[in-house]
Amino acid sequence: MPAALPSAFALPERLVAKADPALIDGDEAHFAEIVRTLEHERADLTARLDAQRRAPARDGRRRWTAIWRSTG
């Protein structure tokens, strides 16, 4: 898990009232879920690409196309 991300609600002093936890807790939780989902998707894609790159190259063009589609 990466280090804690800065809050999207790190507001200037004049807007500090808008950073009330009662107002932003739901949004913070939603952002955290987005981060977890993106990390999971990235790990999954990395694993699939590694597997494709390690696979025997019976048909080099097909293998290259599969890798290209995964990264495109």
Task: Tell me which of 10 and 14 has the higher pLDDT.
Answer: 14
Two tokens at 47?
A: 């694993």
What pLDDT is attached to residue 26?
Answer: 93
* Residues 6 or more apart in contact with residue 27 via CB below 8 angstroms: 8, 9
With bands split at pLDDT 50, 70 and 90, how would you rate the model's confidence at 55?
confident
Confidence of residue 54 (pLDDT cuts 50, 70, 90): confident
CA-nearest of 43, 38, 42, 66 to 54 is: 66
Please answer whether residues 42 and 61 qualify as being in contact, where contact means their C-beta atoms are separated by less than 8 angstroms: no
Reported confidence tier of residue 2, pLDDT bands at 50, 70, 90: low
